[in-house]
A and B are shown apart, each in its own frame.
Chain A
Amino acid sequence: MGEVEELLTKKVADRYLKREVLGEGTYGVVFKAIDTKTGQTVAIKKIRIGKQKEGVNFTALREIKLLKELKDPNIIELIDAFPHKENLHLVFEFMETDLEAVIRDRNIVLSPADIKSFLQMTLKGLAFCHKKWVLHRDMKPNNLLIGPTGQLKLADFGLARIFGSPDRRFTHQVFARWYRAPELLFGAKQYGPGVDVWAAACIFAELLLRRPFLQGNSDIDQLGKIFAAFGTPKPTQWPDMIYLPDYVEYQYVPGQPLRTLFPMASDDTLDLLSKMFMYDPKSRISAQEALEHRYFTSGPLPTEPVSLPRPPPKKESKASDFNIQDGPTVLSPPRKSRRVMPNRDGPEGSANHVHRIDDHGNERLAGGERSEHAPMSLDFSIFGMKPPVRPTINSADRTHLKRKLDLEFQGPEEQ
């Protein structure tokens, strides 16, 4: 690797200030971090490769590949990716919570308009994936993340695949069982976007009931639960069913009227739900058609995302802000973070562009253009344990300071 490149890599890693661990993902640790370039809070997935015999994890590669193509307000954004110390780091926008936390929080009341809003955002994200020929294949409430402005975004594309080559056979071992469509439970190898729509229907039902709708404890039991709810499908309802690889005949049970399963739901709700829960994937409504269903245009209209109820933010950030041991760590040698950063706001001192240096010569971040993220500002002065490192001024800083001095003579300038 050339020297210049090495420097660049370090600089990229230097860009993010590591914060607390958020959780253990499918293929590595996820931690919170601050992007010093934008002041934005991000979530970084660290994928270990150093010890892997097969290089970059296959699941991670899938996620990278698809998320690079899928840019949509209702799909999690992959902001950046970089290798660092034998790990591949994926930088995502930071999301506060997920739909599962919302559904489980007993203190939250979900109005019909709130449910409509959550479902609409889910279907929008899904319709976008399907338009791009991507199947998500792992739709469930805790993969639907919710951002600081209430935006719901599809995440975790580790199981997602590009479809559209008719000859390709897929595994049916996808989705958490409770969200698995009947064709998958019957072992279908060739399936389409309908599997995601079925899962979205399960999520819709879960929003209405505030508990998972069809909780099977085995694949057989899952089908039993589905049939107990909607009735055993007749060949007229789903002609291709009997040709599916794992098809077994189930004893006929009549379904229950949706009205009894969801007593509080409106007629439009039930109509859309029944279309999303169609047995035959060929007649199941598509995500795009579902968005055009009158459920979304009849009253009450979907709640604005920003007004949606959310669980109270976890206390973690405050606590760790003042916890010396948990203080921000830097991905590259810590000394680097203490370097004086060029003061970019110039003499015009624009209030919305702050990058200050505090008394100890330590860097302080407060927002930048994204002043709404201001609470994420870092104050190193509170980490009094380690003696502050003497600031060094590099040549870039010097030129910047020089320019700043020049500017002061010239007076404020338009940006």
Chain B
Amino acid sequence: MAANFWTSTQQKQLLDAEEVDVVHQVDKEMGFTLEDCKLIKMHMANYIARLAQNVKVRQRVVATAVTYMRRVYTRKSMTEYDPRLVAPTCLYLASKAEESTVQARLLVFYIKKLHSDEKYRFEIKEILEMEMKILEALNYYLVVYHPYRALSQLLQDAGMSDATQLAWGLVNDTYKMDLILIHPPHLIALACIYVASVLKDKENTTWFEELRVDMNVVKNIAMEILDFYDSHKMITEERVHLAMHKLGFKQ
């Protein structure tokens, strides 16, 4: 794992759950609930991943883009920063920051291909303008560390390389939640390994105990992940649609 997470600005910027679970005043006035905001962010994380598949960028770029998007909404409202524009712009910015640039016109092409809905369609110019606003909202902090690198090393160390695919998938799913804004990446990786070992009935309590980490934190993250999977079953297209509907029309 990148040895420098501890001195990174990301480490200094880790937030408490209460700071992440915010509904900005303007959004409240528009009728958004915390649940709506969570649903929209999840929906947008999925949108970023789908766009990324089309423009062919690495998972890391997706993870960074989702992190940017989630950071933006800790500071900005959905009413003022339309998620349907913020999401692709975050992918655009992340692709540059992660050194695998995607051309804006390519992105616009795939947005049109994926969505017939007028509300999703934006011009190159709008993406470039939003890029600037996102940079400001992020206070120009662009380096993000992810659980992936720690994950493969830890899995190997735990003798669980056979569970790589499962654990990797779990990490991917954590980006549907705000975990990356709250916890250090290696603890998220550990929580996913913990969930994976429970699912695979693999007994490795000793291995976890020998790690010099607070297992209570790891277990709490693991619980959050499991809770998310539980509640995810209840999320219907309908509910997402209702939340998205509150965003209204493009001005």
Contact = CB atoms under 8 A, between A and B. Distances in A.
Contact of B103 (A54, A133, A161): A54
A402 interface: no
Q: Which of A55, A58, A64, A165 has the most CB of B within 10 A?
A: A55
A75 interface: no
Given A54-B103, A55-B131, A162 B143 contact: yes
A171 to B, nearest CB: 11
A68 B136 contact: no
Interface in A42-83: 49, 52-56, 58, 61, 64-66, 68-69, 81-83
Contacts of A49: 128, 132
A165 B100 CA distance: 14
Contacts of B7: 132
Given A2-B80, A56-B96, A133 B3 contact: yes
A61 B97 contact: yes
Contacts of B136: 82-83
Interface in A1-27: 1-2
Interface string B93-130: 10011010101110000000000000000001001100
A193 to B, nearest CB: 13
Contact of A64 (B2, B104, B140): B140
A291 interface: no
Given A55-B92, A131-B4, A133-B4, A65 B128 contact: no
B29 to A, nearest CB: 14
List 10 A-B pairs, minimum CB-CB distance, nearest first.
A65-B142, A55-B128, A55-B131, A81-B140, A83-B132, A132-B4, A64-B140, A69-B143, A61-B96, A68-B141
A55 B127 contact: yes
23 contacts: A2-B80, A53-B104, A53-B124, A54-B104, A54-B128, A55-B127, A55-B131, A55-B132, A56-B131, A61-B96, A65-B140, A65-B142, A68-B9, A68-B141, A68-B143, A69-B143, A88-B135, A132-B4, A133-B2, A133-B4, A164-B2, A164-B3, A165-B149
Contacts of B80: 2
Contacts of B141: 68
A55 B142 contact: no
Size class of the contact patch on chain A? 20 to 34
A9 to B, nearest CB: 8
Nearest to A170: B99
Given A69-B8, A132-B7, A56 B140 contact: no
B135 A56 contact: yes
Contacts of B133: 1
Contacts, number: 64
A138 B30 CA distance: 51
A2 B81 CA distance: 11
Contacts of B105: 53
B207 to A, nearest CB: 25
Interface string A144-173: 000000000000000001101100000000
B234 to A, nearest CB: 35
A131 to B, nearest CB: 7
A65 B104 contact: no
Interface string B139-166: 0111100000100000000000000000
Contacts of A61: 96-97, 142
B110 to A, nearest CB: 16
Nearest to B60: A165
A64 B124 contact: no
Interface in A221-238: none
Interface string B1-45: 011100111000000000000000000000000000000000000
Nearest to B149: A165
Nearest to A162: B143
